[in-house]
Amino acid sequence: MNKITLVVVDCQHDFVEGGSLEVKGGLAAVGHIRELLLSGKVGRVVFTQDWHPKDHCSFAGQGGPWPSHCVRGTRGANIHPDLLQAVRKMNIYAEFLHKGKDQDREEYTAFEHLHDYADYHAYRAASAKTKKPEVMAFGKKEPVVVCGIAGDVCVLNTLKSLRPMCPAVFTQGTASLDGGQALNDYIREEGLQVIE
């Protein structure tokens, strides 16, 4: 069986217990993702990261809906070290995509601007304005599995943007602000595969 490509959404300190925008169950989700990484089933991992300037438009201080979180270069923006350690231990190929880098633009997915080719999907990610483009390509037969935080916000939007890949969802590796309702509804409506 082909090894899976695991997309790990925003498993950063600020989104787990103790962080500035903590999501209950975040640490438990990280623990389950770590187990999956150590299982030998993952061949490639793509980490997405909120990577905001300190005055990002989504912050309450700027009139946005969220408390300040994942300011680039701070501890809160770092990916949980248990996951990085598991990746290193298993020697898994890892890539990183930053999102929410422009002060005036919110991004709930790192996979915008799909370009469709015969053998693969290519996503041009993140800032179109100032940063160099980041391109992420997936083979059309590559089994993609999505997990991470928060299930009802960035995981949900990541799933929507990756929908042409028929992504599966590792639900144990998710934590949601709404208890999982929106994510489960989407999985059911779209008939997405769930992996345990």
If the CB atoms of residues 50 and 152 are measured against Zn ion, the closer one turns out to be 50
Residue count, binding to Zn ion (CB under 5 A) = 2
If the CB atoms of residues 36 and 71 are measured against Zn ion, the closer one turns out to be 71
CA separation for the pair 172, 185 (Å, rounded): 16
CB of 59 to Zn ion, least distance (A): 8
Residue nearest to Zn ion (CB): 50
CA separation for the pair 150, 26 (Å, rounded): 8
Strands 168-175 vs 144-149: parallel, antiparallel or unpaired: parallel
- The answer to whether residue 50 forms part of the interface with Zn ion (CB under 5 A) is yes
Q: Which of 144, 152, 158 is nearest to 42 (CA)?
A: 144
CB of 46 to Zn ion, least distance (A): 18
Q: Which of residues 89-118 bind Zn ion (CB under 5 A)?
A: 100
> Mask of contacts with Zn ion, 3-42, x by CB under 5 A?
----------------------------------------
Host H or E run for residue 4: strand 4-9
CB of 70 to Zn ion, least distance (A): 6
Measure the CA angle with vertex 184, ends 154 and 145; round to 5°. Answer: 60
Q: Which two tokens stand for residue 155?
A: 């995981």
Give the interface with Zn ion as residue ranges (CB under 5 A). 50, 100
